[in-house]
Amino acid sequence: MAFTGKYEVESQENYEAFMKLIGIPDDKIEKGKNFKYTTEIVQNGNEFSWSQIYPGHTTTNKFVLGQESELHSMAGKTFKTTIRSDGGKIVVDFPNYHHTSEIAGGKLVETSVAGGVTFKRISKKVA
């Protein structure tokens, strides 16, 4: 697993349906729909700093694989969970959805599943 890098969103599938399902307000969904935000990941062994950079706002989660960590969700809520690795993927169980991240073909592929809706975001490495 080599996640370190800076990634820019290039495509998203089922964005609106998934965001509505997990309770993101319509105005935030509309703002985020076409914004190509950046994800910066710094990996040092099993330790990660994972930042999502939006205009005027950055959310950073720091965690160690296999240890309980406090994280911030897409909805802005704080919760505790244990993040794990499974077959080269990072696996996180958020309060109302299941999320995996992996590097495939040099791209960051993030998949979130809730209530039968699968949201997939693919980001290209820019640094």
14-32 per-position pLDDT tens digit: 999 999 998 888 988 887 7
Question: Token pair 């935000």 is at which residue?
Answer: 37
Contacts of 53 (CB under 8 A, 6+ apart): 37, 38, 39, 40
pTM of the model: 0.90
Identify which has the larger pLDDT, 105 or 95: 105
Q: How confident is the model at residue 74 (pLDDT cuts 50, 70, 90)?
A: low
Instruction: Report DSSP state, residue 103.
Output: E
